[in-house]
Amino acid sequence: MQELGKEDGIEYDFGGDEVANTLHAHRVSQFLQDKYSPEHALAALSFLYEQYFSQREHPSSASTLVTACLAAGLSQHDADALVHDEGNYLRQMKAAIQEQAGNGVDSVPYVVFEGKRRKFTLVGAKSGEEYGKVLGQVVKEAG
């Protein structure tokens, strides 16, 4: 993963001691995607990834999540309300986790491309080249 990051100018720092539960980070990002837009979720996720993978910050701490919401464009009031109400969107997030567990998903990233005749699944950190190959195959089979 460090090699993939270097290709994109990302310096990963895996020296942290804490393994974190990311349920609330997922809850917040899914809420942003569903209630605001995919762009809001992407802005928050980009911030969270930077904080966790490069700065050793806890991805589900209230301060990290509030700042991620601010990076996504939410007001301080809306960010605080979302993050501190830990029940907000929790039921939906747990239902989505259960659904994916039923589909056999047990790790992330887990990306599924819907082809014309079949699905293509990539699990784990992959290079842009690997994604390109799969997308090329989807296009080839669609023609």
Span 62-101, pLDDT tens digits: 999 999 999 999 999 999 999 999 999 999 999 998 998 8
CATH number at residue 55: 3.40.30.10
Residue 128 gets which letter from DSSP? H
Average pLDDT, the chain: 90
pLDDT band at 17 (very low <50, low <70, confident <90, very high): low
Of 131, 111, 109, 107, nearest to 119 (Cα)?
A: 111
Considering the domain architecture, whether residues 38 and 55 belong to the same structural domain is answered as: yes
Residues 57 and 116 in one domain: no
pLDDT of residue 126: 87
Residues 84 and 131 occupy one common structural domain: no
> Tokens 């609330």 map to which residue?
24
Whether residue 127 sits in one domain with residue 64? no
Q: Which residue has the higher pLDDT, 136 or 125?
A: 136
Averaged over 97-118, what is the pLDDT? 88
**Domain assignment of residue 131, given as a range:** 110-142
- Mark whether 20 and 80 lie in a shared domain: yes
Same domain, 98 and 117: no
67 with 131, same domain: the answer is no
Domain count, the chain: 2
One domain, residues 84 and 50: yes
Kindly report whether the peptide bond that precedes residue 109 is cis, defined as omega within 30 degrees of 0.
yes
Q: Is the peptide bond before 38 cis (omega within 30 degrees of 0)?
A: no
Same domain, 98 and 33: yes
Q: What is the pTM of this model?
A: 0.76
- Kindly report whether the peptide bond that precedes residue 59 is cis, defined as omega within 30 degrees of 0: no
Q: Which residue has the tokens 């599924």?
A: 112
Residues 30 and 86 in one domain: yes
Quick: pLDDT tens for 29-46: 999 999 999 999 999 999
